[in-house]
Structure 1
Amino acid sequence: MKIKTLLLSALVVAASCSVTAQTTDTDVKYMSPKFKDNIFISIGVGAQGYLTQDNFDHGFGKVIQPLVNLSVGKWMDPYWGLRGQASGWQSKMYTDVDRLNNGGVFNKFERKYINLNLDFMLNLTNLWRQYDPENKWDMTLFLGPGLSFGKFHDKQLDVLVNGSLGLGGKYHINKYWAIDLEARTHLMPTFFYTSKYTGSEEIAGRSYQDGLLSLSIGATYTFGGRKFTRYESGAEQMRQQLNDKINGLENELRNTQSQLEAAKIAEQVAQKELALTEAEKAEAIAAAARQDFTQYVGFTINKSAVKTEQMVVLQAVANYMAENPGVKMKVVGYADKQTGSNYFNQKLSERRAKSVYDLLVKKFGVSSDRLSYVGLGDQSQPFKVNNYNRLVMILGEK
């Protein structure tokens, strides 16, 4: 009963940690794209010792035995998974219990066994920091119930319930292969006790509760390679598609409005140009542009990279500034208020403004002394509709 209670408590704690790990960043979730993804097989070899008072009295180093294990499992996401493991070889115990020998000398008892365990696995590396597909090292906590099968003194097969806990380290050679190092302990009723028989051989040692301590090294192969994708539900995908279409229509509308405004400015300048000198004409054009020129560059949520379809807007700005050498522009970044903290949005708006500024200078050849940029975060919202505020405005300086 104590084994079951301890194991159940550990499982609850581990499951809670897994949920916490997946909800620390609600915007980033990963999963196996298909059920067949992230299924693996592992094999390991090592050594194990039987944990009992009698063996420590006699010398624990004398009961170290070889160990082999074979595991098959699946990672449900980068944080948790399940596996089944078969392990075993032979356990050994030395005891000087008087009823089993004469003269108080230690007698040796051996028993072949196999453990079958179902393990809940928790990736501690991804729990402590965000999942990175390029990470080479993982540390995993695993625990779960199992059954132990063995014979004592070549008698009838015994089946014992066990609970186990362990820690594994893994180095990923590539997305298919990894090297494993695993330490594990089993807690169970003693291997050298059975309720099927009575008499002097009913229990060989001093304890009814014993254990196993093992250390193994091996390799893991993941079928198809490790594969986790960012999770988006069908509703979220549809919403994103609609948002993209709306943003595209908004950009077209803004571009049309900007072209109309530019045409109006050009018409006003044309009407006055006969009465102005060349210097006055240039100043009039620059003054009109500074007051009325506005362009918009839209962004994807939480992103600061300028999308390909937005390059035409930057080209139009560069062309306009080339035609109007007296004009200076200000690049102003924004972020929508309903996504992220104030600090995050401030930094995001600055990155957006910097991305547009860098493209205008480095890609489109606008002189840096004719441009400035600033990020206003989410404290200033140019539009009432929240999603519209994921943008950069390119304004003529007034």
Structure 2
Amino acid sequence: MKIKTLLLSALVAGASYSVSAQTTEPDVKYLSPKFKDNIFISIGVGMQGYMNTDNFDYGFGKVLQPLVNLSVGKWMDPYWGLRGQISGWQSKLYTDVNRLNNNNKFEKFQHKYINLNLDFMLNLTNLWRAYSPDNKWDMTLFLGPGLSFGKFHNKQMDVLINGSIGLGGKYNINKYWAIDLEARTHLMSTFFYTNKYSGQEEIAGRSYQDGLLSLSIGATYTFGGKNFARYESGAQEMRQQLNAQINNLEAELQQTQSQLEAARIAEQIAKKEVAAVEAEKMQVVAKTARKDFAQYVGFTINKTDVKTEQMVILQAIANYMAENPDVKMKVVGYADKQTGSKYFNQKISERRAKNVYNLLIKKFGVPENRLSYVGLGDQDQPFKVNQYNRLVMILGEK
């Protein structure tokens, strides 16, 4: 029995060292636990200018126009996400196409437009540093394709394919609200064309490719608040497996120690019964029937059945009670605090106590009026080591 205890102790120590050696750099990731998590809506207002060679000649600052955008999206994890955005207002173009026939004046053209874009978002801040829910500042790169809808003069609505790229800064007020500052550019074929001066449809400006440059400020609301769950993989998974093995080894070690203690007590009682006179027996009863008298039956995590190797403890207690008819015992069940809810731990402690109580009565013949049982769940932890509290204590009563 001592050899088994020593071997189990060595295995526990070796497994503990292995866990320590393999978990110095755990692989930690964060993910959205559910699809509905980390969905947001943003609105922004600002200014935008139409990028065209003619506008730069005329003065880019004179063609700035208001801008409004609305976005809906989702962060898949703290590093990347997707969003859809609608933006637009009005664009201006000052061109010198017909300046010689117009008293040397630039002609002004303008049109209403709307952009629809699908953006891939990359959080640069979380790539550069470790993610934390307490981070206040974020910088995001976004880019993607889209469609631009616009109407020039009395022409029909034009639909153009665009591409865009931008950079956003975000200040997180709390897990629900954030303030945004966003700079963006759209590139597309030109919207501006006219047949005013040649009788044929021509490009109004000198460029066949145009763009929009915008700057906006706004706010973002995340439904339910940001929620990224910690996910551990790689070496961390191995640590969890090894921890489970350690728990099992510690449970077996505790069971073996309980068996040794029970065997030792049984042997002492037997020797005293043979050698002691009636007065000495009464002294043994008085001594062993104190309230702090305790025997232990250990259990595996989430289990309530008494293992075969633990029966020696119950047999020793039954023998002792048979020889000492004035002794009464209380069977008290416990559960470890770090596993399961309070309700679950209360129920499992009661079942453990009831199983030991039933075995002592039905299998080992202890009178029912000399036993009682109770389950204390995890409200009381007899031992500092968490796994040791998966047990039943048999206590002597005066």
What letter corresponds to residue 246 of structure 1 in structure 2? Answer: Q
Q: Please state how far the C-alpha of 1:250 moved relative to its aligned partner.
A: 1.8
Greater radius of gyration (CA): 2
Alpha-carbon spacing, 1:224–1:134, altered in 2? closer, same or farther (3 Å): same
Alpha-carbon spacing, 1:199–1:162, altered in 2? closer, same or farther (3 Å): farther
Q: Structure 2 CA distance, aligned partners of 1:105 and 1:194?
A: 17
Which residue in 1 is equivalent to 2:248?
249
Which residue in 1 is equivalent to 2:167?
167
Q: How does 1:133-212 map to 2 (within 5 A)?
A: 133-193=133-193, 199-212=199-212
What letter corresponds to residue 248 of structure 1 in structure 2? Answer: N
Pair 1:65 & 2:31 matched? no
Larger CA deviation: 128-137 vs 106-115: 128-137
Q: Please state how far the C-alpha of 1:100 moved relative to its aligned partner.
A: 8.5
TM-score by structure 2 length? Answer: 0.55
Q: Structure 1 CA distance, aligned partners of 2:74 and 2:61?
A: 35
* Higher RCO structure (Cα 8 Å, ≥6 apart): 2
Query: Secondary structure of the equivalent of 2:249?
Result: helix
Q: Please state how far the C-alpha of 1:74 moved relative to its aligned partner.
A: 0.5
Q: Please state how far the C-alpha of 1:80 moved relative to its aligned partner.
A: 0.4
Query: Secondary structure of the equivalent of 1:57?
Result: helix
Pair 1:229 & 2:229 matched? yes
Query: Secondary structure of the equivalent of 2:55?
Result: helix
Q: Structure 2 CA distance, aligned partners of 1:138 and 1:95?
A: 40
Query: Secondary structure of the equivalent of 1:153?
Result: coil
1:221-247 CA-to-partner distances (Å, cap 9, x unmatched) read 0011001012258x9999777544421
Q: Structure 2 CA distance, aligned partners of 1:194 and 1:257?
A: 95
Q: Percent identity?
A: 74
Q: Is the 8 A contact 1:101 1:107 kept in 2?
A: no
Q: How does 1:310-389 map to 2 (within 5 A)?
A: none
Q: Structure 2 CA distance, aligned partners of 1:213 and 1:42?
A: 19
Q: Structure 2 CA distance, aligned partners of 1:116 and 1:249?
A: 58
Q: Structure 2 CA distance, aligned partners of 1:100 and 1:255?
A: 101
1:119-172 CA-to-partner distances (Å, cap 9, x unmatched) read 000000011112111101100000000000010013210001100000000011
Q: Is the 8 A contact 2:27 2:236 kept in 1?
A: no
Which residue in 1 is equivalent to 2:123?
123
1:87-106 CA-to-partner distances (Å, cap 9, x unmatched) read 00000010111379423310
| Structure 1: gaps (5+ residues) | 1-24, 263-306, 310-363, 365-398
Q: Please state how far the C-alpha of 1:28 moved relative to its aligned partner.
A: 1.1
What letter corresponds to residue 250 of structure 1 in structure 2? Answer: L
Q: Structure 2 CA distance, aligned partners of 1:61 and 1:109?
A: 16
Q: Is the 8 A contact 2:26 2:235 kept in 1?
A: no
Query: Secondary structure of the equivalent of 1:125?
Result: helix
What letter corresponds to residue 139 of structure 1 in structure 2? Answer: M
Q: Is the 8 A contact 1:158 1:194 kept in 2?
A: no
Q: Structure 2 CA distance, aligned partners of 1:119 and 1:26?
A: 32
Q: Structure 1 CA distance, aligned partners of 2:143 and 2:194?
A: 26
What letter corresponds to residue 146 of structure 1 in structure 2? Answer: G
Aligned residues: 243
Query: Secondary structure of the equivalent of 2:205?
Result: coil
1:334-378 CA-to-partner distances (Å, cap 9, x unmatched) read xxxxxxxxxxxxxxxxxxxxxxxxxxxxxx9xxxxxxxxxxxxxx
Q: Is the 8 A contact 1:49 1:65 kept in 2?
A: yes
| Structure 2: gaps (5+ residues) | 1-24, 262-335, 339-383, 385-398
What letter corresponds to residue 84 of structure 2 in structure 1? Answer: G
